[in-house]
Amino acid sequence: MAAITFERVSKVYPDGTRAVQSVDLEIADGGFMVLIGPSGCGKTTLLRMVAGLETVSDGLIRVGGRVVNNVPPKSRDIAMVFQNYALYPHMSVYENMAFALKLRRLPKEQIRENVRKTAAILALMEQLVKKPGQLSGGQRQRVAMGRAIVREPQAFLMDEPLSNLDAKLRVQMRAEIARIQRDLGVTTIYVTHDQVEAMTLGDRVAVMRGGVLQQFDSPQELFERPRNLFVAGFIGSPAMNIVEATLDRADGVWVVFGSHRLRVPDELLAARPAVGRAVGRRVVLGIRPDDFEDAALVPETEHDARLPVIVDLRETLGREAYIHFEVDAPPVLTEDTKELAADTDVAALDELERTALAQTTRFVASVSAKTRSAEGGRAELAVDVAGMHFFDPETGEAIYGEQPAAVRVAAP
């Protein structure tokens, strides 16, 4: 086992493309760190530099305290799991898992013992004689993981290993990966585009954008205290609702957006004193979909307010329903929000630009499926105002008191 440290690590390609810029990170021995960000943000490049598949332009990468910048990949004692499995089709499951051990010229008995022990962990004992073509996608991914585990490396590197699986199988394999990593205690770096995977798997999550590390923190801290507008919009599903607003003082502090006014509670002002100092200024208001509820289903409390809306669309998903509606306030149209929309799909970016012209912003509320709200009808939503987020519209930085650190060292 080994800690992995990045010290001002950068990657610049010969054409001048800067894929990674001065990244400082530390993954504790036995830690599970997830790298996440939109396509092209540099997360896979960072992983490949650890593996030795990409050279480091500047900075140092340490594995177990040893600088590995110029160490050949085969000598780094690191195992990598790819999204396309990379199995040898002409070899059996046993032969695929044993291949790296044979290259090390280990005794046959030791190879057999290691492979069978790993196959038992992964429930592959009955598949050892089969070829990859005879296996399901989930079984092939288990074999790819088994080939990494059997080597007993210092660290695992996983590059979107679940992206080729269907939704149900992804959930199952996600639980498997978490269990195996916990049981083995091997330092792991996991790259994904799926923020649900990031939030459920990682002890710590590193959010990348344009080669720059935006925030490195626990999943819960990223969700509750995003450092900037980009992290706030990227983490969470459905995404945070973001709208232009102003802060006003009239028997307390209020946030005003369009025809709507929400009271900013004293508890929030005490926890984030810079919000009170921003009264009279334009701000960006963020409200998580989970901070809404159908007002008819909950008693009114000191931490919520009422928001009348017209329902554009209702999506029912078992125990919850997504209520889509528009507010009469302009959307936040910055490079952050454009990139977040484009990362979703082209339609999302088109929708953002459409609402900008109409000076309206589309919101989503996640409420109980017991709601009687119907498309085209009116509804009243309770808002947990204690959970509101505020950002500087010029810099995109979150408004707290003191700014949370962009990078936090992962604790054991």
The whole-number mean pLDDT for each consecutive block of 10 residues of the chain, a chain of 412 residues, reads 92 95 95 93 95 96 95 92 86 93 91 92 91 90 89 91 82 87 92 90 94 96 95 92 95 94 94 94 97 92 84 94 95 85 75 78 96 94 95 94 46 34
Cβ atoms of 97 and 81 closer than 8 Å: no
64 vs 257: CA distance, rounded Å: 51
Number of alpha carbons in the 13 Å side-chain half-sphere of residue 232: 28
**pLDDT at position 341:** 81
Cβ atoms of 227 and 403 closer than 8 Å: yes
369 vs 371: CA distance, rounded Å: 5
Place of tokens 């001048």: 16
**pLDDT at position 409:** 36
Helix (H, G, I), strand (E, B) or coil at 226: coil
Q: How far is the CA of 203 from the CAs of 23, 206, 233, 294, 388, in angstroms? A: 19, 10, 21, 33, 25
**pLDDT at position 1:** 64
344 vs 193: CA distance, rounded Å: 11
Of the candidates 124, 114, 96, the one whose C-alpha atom is nearest the C-alpha of residue 152 is: 114
All domains of the chain, ordered by start, with CATH? 4-224 (3.40.50.300), 229-391 (2.40.50.140)
Pairing of strands 260-264, 282-287: unpaired
Cβ atoms of 65 and 3 closer than 8 Å: yes
DSSP 405: P
Pairing of strands 18-27, 4-12: antiparallel
**pLDDT at position 110:** 93
Sheet holding 389-391, edge to edge: 260-264, 253-257, 241-249, 282-287, 389-391
Question: Phi first, then psi: what are they for 7, rounded to 5°?
Answer: -120, 100
**pLDDT at position 402:** 59
